């Protein structure tokens, strides 16, 4: 339970920064990486369950492969590209849409 207190404080700080700047890059260093988050939530296990439960056609439509390693690597590569692209393009592309 005690860990929830620091997590809540971190979320509030992230939301404050986003509200003030609308710049995702400003909060990217405050949390865990995409790969770390995937480990924490057990994403690999969820993808394995999808492979077991969903029809092959749906898996192929979603991921283009039935191979768990390829799915995991593809998701990580795609996310890395998004973050790298945002960092290369400057702060205007890093801004989230707001009112």
pLDDT tens string 80-89: 777 666 555 5
Q: Is 81 exposed, middle or buried (0-12, 13-18, 19+ CB in 10 A)?
A: exposed
Give the model's pLDDT for residue 64: 94
Residues 49/42, Cβ–Cβ less than 8 Å: no
Tokens, residue 40: 């924490």
Give the model's pLDDT for residue 96: 38
Give the model's pLDDT for residue 52: 96
Q: Distance between CA atoms of 1 and 81, rounded to whole angstroms?
A: 35
* Percent helix, strand and coil across the chain, each to the nearest 5: 80, 0, 20
Give the model's pLDDT for residue 88: 53
Give the model's pLDDT for residue 84: 66
Q: Any idea where the domains of the chain sit in the sequence?
A: 31-85
Q: What is the pLDDT of residues 13-71, one digit of tens each?
A: 999 999 999 888 888 788 888 888 889 999 999 999 999 999 999 999 999 999 999 99
């Amino acid at each position: 339970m005690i860990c929830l207190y620091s997590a809540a404080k971190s979320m509030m700080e992230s939301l404050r920064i986003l509200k003030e700047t609308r710049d995702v890059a400003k909060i990217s260093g405050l949390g865990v990486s995409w790969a770390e988050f995937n480990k924490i939530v057990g994403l690999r296990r969820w993808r394995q369950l999808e492979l077991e439960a969903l029809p092959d056609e749906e898996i192929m439509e979603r991921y283009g492969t039935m191979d768990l390693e390829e799915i995991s690597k593809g998701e990580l590569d795609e996310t890395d590209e998004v973050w790298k692209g945002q960092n290369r393009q400057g702060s205007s592309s890093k801004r989230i849409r707001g009112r």
